[in-house]
Amino acid sequence: MKRTFAIILAAVAAAVLFGGLVYAVLMLAQVSEPAATTVYGLTLRRLWATAAAAVALVGVVIGGFALNRSASRFGTTSGHLGAIVALGAGLIAVVNGGLNLAMADGGPGTGNGVVGGAAAFVLGLIALALGGLVQARVRRTAMSLGK
């Protein structure tokens, strides 16, 4: 019961932190003001931002699995590959999310995909951080094993 509550509390805290970071990126990009008229439906820029956010999410998941695997007893090779994938996906997401935000000429609701671009930027940074942690752990483990 206590563990379930702790997991739910951690998930809610992570969601709030993620929302705050996305809002902070929107404020820094100066596109946080909502549109006067809302555009409904899927636009090309929204599709671009959604694809970048999906790549970033894949990078975060693979980076998390690689971080868990690099600490296990199965060796460092699987963690190394996961780190490379997480770093690549994170870099792609950060660049595309940043470009989407730089090209945006309005805030949420304009059809520019600024919320997805900000989410891709934040998740891409998280994927880069996870990939870097895994690379450092794999390198440290390989050095201690004398490989």
Tokens in use for 51? 């694809």
Tokens in use for 60? 């975060």
Task: Give per-residue pLDDT as tens, 61-83.
Answer: 998 888 887 555 555 556 778 88
**What average pLDDT does the structure give for the chain?**
81
| Short-list 112, 137, 122, CA closest to 90 | 122
| Per-domain boundaries in the chain | 2-145
In the predicted model, is pLDDT for residue 113 greater than 90? no
Tell which wins on pLDDT, 42 or 121. 121
Task: Give per-residue pLDDT as tens, 29-40.
Answer: 777 676 667 777
Tokens in use for 68? 């868990």
Residue type, 48: W
Whether this prediction's pTM lies above 0.85 is answered by no
